[in-house]
Chain A
Amino acid sequence: MTIAVRTLDDGAWISVNDSRQVSVSDVWTLSRGVFCDCEPAYVLLEGFFDVDVDGSVVAASTVGQCLECGTRDSIDRLPVGRMIDGKFSPYDPAGVQWLREPDAERDGESS
C-alpha cells in the first residue's frame, strides 16, 4: 500500500494520506544523546521541512530547540507515528522518543 506523506502550510503540518496529522510547535521528549545531553531532552519542534516513510513508520525531518540547554538543531527522521491496519496512529510527543538508527533505512520505502 502506498502512503502519501507531505509537509503543509510551510512546515506547520505532516499530512498523512491527505489528512493533517502531526502539528508543529509541540514539545517532544527525546532520550539523551540523540539531540543534546539533557536527560530527557524536551525539544520544541519549530517546523517540519521533510517527511518520509520507513516501512510503516512515518518520520519527519524538523528543526527544534531544547527547552533546558537551548541547543537548536535539525533532527533527521524523527518518528512521529506509524500505520496500523492502514490507519495512521500518531506517537505521543510526551512519551520518550529515540531517533531511528541509520540501518533502519534498509527497508525504507520512500514515497
Chain B
Amino acid sequence: MASDVEEWKDELYGTDIRAEIERFAEEGWESIPDDEQDAWFERFKWYGLYHQRAGQESYFMMRIGPPGGVLAPGQFRRIVEIADEFSRGPAENPVFGNGWIDVTTRQAIQLHWIRLEDVPEIFEQLEDVGLSTVQACGDSWRNIVGCPVAGKDKHEHVDADALATDLHDTFKKNEAHSNLPRKWKVSVTGCDEGCGQGDINDLAFEPAEKEIDGETVTGYNVRVGGGLSRNEPRLARDIDVFATPEQAVDVAGGISALFRDHGDREDRYNARIKFLVDEWGPEKLRETLQDDYVDFELETAGEDLREDYSYNAGDADGKHDHVGVHEQNDGNYYVGLNVLVGRIGVDEAYDLADAAEEHGSGEVRLTQRQNIIFTDVPEENLETLRSEPVLEHYSPDPHPFQRGSIACTGTEFCSLSIVETKNRQVRYARWLTQNVELPEGVEDFHIHLSGCTASCAQPQIADVSLRGMKTRKDGEPVEALDIGLGGGLGENPQFASWVTERVPADEVPGAIANLLENFAAERDDETQSFREFVLERDDEELADLVEPEETDYEDPYLHNTKRTWYPYAEDDDLDASPAPARADGTPIPSDD
C-alpha cells in the first residue's frame, strides 16, 4: 500500500502548493484544519518550509537554496534583511541572541521562527533579488551543491558553476521531476581538489577527460547512490558513464526519471536511490538508463582526477577547505571566512554584507563546511578587508578547532534530535582551543556533531565524528555522544568507524584531549596524519585511546533538552510554551 505521504503528493504537490500557502497565510495559522496539518506540513516542505518541533507549533524553518552556494551581489544582504525582520523567536539563544542566519552543509541558508502569515511577503522579497525556496526540502531536487569557488578557481578543469546553474534552471519547478520517491541530492565538482563532496550525494558529476573521435574532451564522470543517513552510509558508486558538458543535463534528467519510476514508493525508509543501487548494482542502473532514459549512446567513464583530490582528504598537507586568502584565476582573490557552526547573528551579518561590497564584488558564497567566502577581492584591498572588526570573529585564519567544527540544528528546532548541538559545539571548540595543544604538523582537524543518525552535519566524514545519544550517569539519563574516528573524503573516501559509544556529553572534550595526546605519543612521526594513524589501527585499539573524562569543561545541556519547548528559555517546560501563536505572537489557547 502506498504510504500516506505518497497519497498526499498524488493529490496535490509541486507548484500547486504555492496558492495554498498564500491562502493559509491570508487566513492565518488557525485556518489549517487540524486533521489536515500532517498533509499540509508534508507539502509545505516542497516550498522550503519545515514545521518546527513540539512546543514550537505554528513556527517554521525556511530554507533558501542558491545553486553551488553562490549568492550574487545583493542576495546575501537581502537574506539578512529578511532574517532581521521575520526570523525572531519568542525567546533568546544565549550564544546567538535572537535573529540569525544558518549556513548549512548543503550550501543553503536556514531561517527559523518563521510565521506562515509572513511567508508571501518573504517570498516576494526573495524573488525580487532572484532567490527562492523551491524544492529546498521535500521529495525532489534539493539545492545543487558544488565547488564553492566554481568559475573563479585556479584548480578548475570544467565549469561546475555553469552546470550547477543549468541543472537548477532545468529541474526546479519541472513538473516531470517534481515528485520523486524521496529527496534527491546532486553535486557538481569541476576542480582537481574534489570539494563538491560528490561521494555523499545521490548523483555526482566529477571532472574527467575522455578521448572522443580522436579529441580529448573535458567533462564529467557520473556516480550514483551516495548518502549518510540512518546508519546506512553509502559512497556514490561509479556507473561507468562520461558526460560531456552538453550531455550532462540530459544524463541527470535520465537518472532522475529512472529514480522517479523505479525508486521504492511503498517504503520511505528504502526509498533513497542508494538502496536501488544496492539492489540493482551499477551495471543494471547503467543499462536501464541507456535503454529507457537517454536517446544517445552513453560514453564509458573517462580519466578522472580523484588521485589529486585534497579537500578533506586527511593528508598532512593539501588544501582541505576554502578558509583563508586564495588567488583566483583572474588575479583577484577570494577570502574564506570561518563561521563557527554556521550561525551568523543579524548585526554581524550586516557588517559582513558591507565588507563584501566594500572590498570585493559583493558576491558571497556558501561552503559545505558551513563557512562563507567573499570573492573578487583585488589584491590592494586585502589588507583593509582583513582589518575589518567583524573579521576578528569571522576569521580567515581561525584556530583549527574553530575551523574544523560543524554542527547540525539539533534539539533547538529539530524533532529527530536526541541532543543539543550548536551551542554545545561552540563550547567544545572554545574549550579545546584554550586547553588542548594540537600535535606537531596538524593544521586541520575536523569535528562534526550531528544530533541523530540522519547525519545532517556529515559526521561520518570527519576526523572525530560525534552523534547524539543518551546514557545514564549517576543513575540519571543524560545527553551523550557516540564517538567515531578517521572519516574523510579524497581519492579514497572513508566513513568514520564508531569506536566509543554513549559518552556523557560533559566527558567528550576530555576524551578528545586524551585522544590527541595519545595520537601525539604513538604516531610514527610528525608527517603521519590523524586519518592515516586511525586507518592503521583496529576499533579496539582506537577505543583504548579515547578515554572519556570529566574536565573543567561544563555542559549546561546535559538533561534532556528534547523535553523542553526551547532548551534555553528561562522556563523551558513544555507546558510553558507560547506556541502555537498568532501572527502577532499571542498564544492560541488549546481547546482541551
Complex: A17 Cα to B36 Cα, angstroms: 10
Partner of A12, one of B38, B42, B416, B469: B416
Residues of the A chain whose Cβ atoms lie less than 8 Å from the Cβ of B268: 10
Complex: A44 Cα to B269 Cα, angstroms: 19
**Do the beta carbons of B35 and A18 come within 8 Å of each other?**
yes
**Do the beta carbons of B502 and A70 come within 8 Å of each other?**
yes
Residues of the B chain whose Cβ atoms lie less than 8 Å from the Cβ of A54: none
Residues of A1-35 contacting chain B, CB below 8 A: 6, 8-13, 15, 17-20, 23-27
Residues of the B chain whose Cβ atoms lie less than 8 Å from the Cβ of A17: 35
Complex: A25 Cα to B502 Cα, angstroms: 14
B470: interface (CB < 8 Å): yes
Residues of B44-82 contacting chain A, CB below 8 A: 54
Partner of A27, one of B35, B415, B470, B501: B470
Contact status of A25 and B416, CB under 8 A, knowing A10-B454, A42-B477, A70-B501: yes
**Do the beta carbons of A25 and B452 come within 8 Å of each other?**
yes
Complex: A16 Cα to B235 Cα, angstroms: 37
**Do the beta carbons of A23 and B54 come within 8 Å of each other?**
yes
Residue of B with least CB distance to A26: B562
Distance from A105 Cβ to chain B, minimum over Cβ atoms (Å) = 19
Complex: A62 Cα to B368 Cα, angstroms: 32
**Do the beta carbons of A25 and B38 come within 8 Å of each other?**
no
B230: interface (CB < 8 Å): yes
Complex: A13 Cα to B415 Cα, angstroms: 8
**Do the beta carbons of B34 and A18 come within 8 Å of each other?**
yes
Residues of the B chain whose Cβ atoms lie less than 8 Å from the Cβ of A11: 269, 416
Residue of A with least CB distance to B268: A10
**Do the beta carbons of B54 and A20 come within 8 Å of each other?**
yes
Residues of the A chain whose Cβ atoms lie less than 8 Å from the Cβ of B347: none
Residues of B1-27 contacting chain A, CB below 8 A: 3-4
A91: interface (CB < 8 Å): no
**Do the beta carbons of B470 and A15 come within 8 Å of each other?**
no
Residue of B with least CB distance to A21: B54
Residues of the A chain whose Cβ atoms lie less than 8 Å from the Cβ of B230: 47
Residues of the B chain whose Cβ atoms lie less than 8 Å from the Cβ of A20: 38, 54, 415
B132: interface (CB < 8 Å): no
Residue of B with least CB distance to A44: B470
B178: interface (CB < 8 Å): no
Residues of the B chain whose Cβ atoms lie less than 8 Å from the Cβ of A47: 230, 416, 453
Question: How many B residues touch A, CB cutoff 8 Å?
Answer: 30
Q: Encode contact with A along B257-283: 1 for CB under 8 Å, 0 otherwise.
A: 000000000001100000000000000
Partner of B416, one of A10, A19, A70: A10
Q: Is the interface of B mostly helix, strand, loop or mixed?
A: mixed
A46: interface (CB < 8 Å): yes
**Do the beta carbons of A6 and B4 come within 8 Å of each other?**
yes
Distance from B286 Cβ to chain A, minimum over Cβ atoms (Å) = 29
B471: interface (CB < 8 Å): yes
Complex: A25 Cα to B479 Cα, angstroms: 11
**Do the beta carbons of A44 and B418 come within 8 Å of each other?**
yes
Complex: A27 Cα to B473 Cα, angstroms: 14
Complex: A74 Cα to B269 Cα, angstroms: 14
**Do the beta carbons of B37 and A24 come within 8 Å of each other?**
no
**Do the beta carbons of A46 and B453 come within 8 Å of each other?**
yes
B430: interface (CB < 8 Å): no
Distance from A23 Cβ to chain B, minimum over Cβ atoms (Å) = 6
Residues of the B chain whose Cβ atoms lie less than 8 Å from the Cβ of A12: 415-416
Residues of A79-110 contacting chain B, CB below 8 A: none
Contact status of A42 and B36, CB under 8 A, knowing A10-B416, A25-B452: no
Residue of B with least CB distance to A9: B415
Complex: A10 Cα to B417 Cα, angstroms: 12
**Do the beta carbons of A25 and B501 come within 8 Å of each other?**
no
Complex: A25 Cα to B560 Cα, angstroms: 10
Residue of A with least CB distance to B45: A9
Residue of A with least CB distance to B182: A10
Partner of B418, one of A19, A25, A42, A49: A25
Distance from A17 Cβ to chain B, minimum over Cβ atoms (Å) = 7
Known pairs A18-B34, A20-B415, A47-B416. 19 more at Cβ < 8 A? A9-B415, A10-B454, A12-B415, A12-B416, A15-B38, A18-B37, A19-B37, A23-B415, A23-B562, A25-B417, A25-B418, A27-B477, A42-B472, A46-B418, A47-B453, A67-B471, A67-B472, A67-B502, A70-B501
Q: Which residues from chain B sit less than 8 Å from chain A, CB to CB?
A: 3-4, 34-38, 41-42, 54, 230, 268-269, 415-418, 452-454, 468-472, 477, 501-502, 562-563
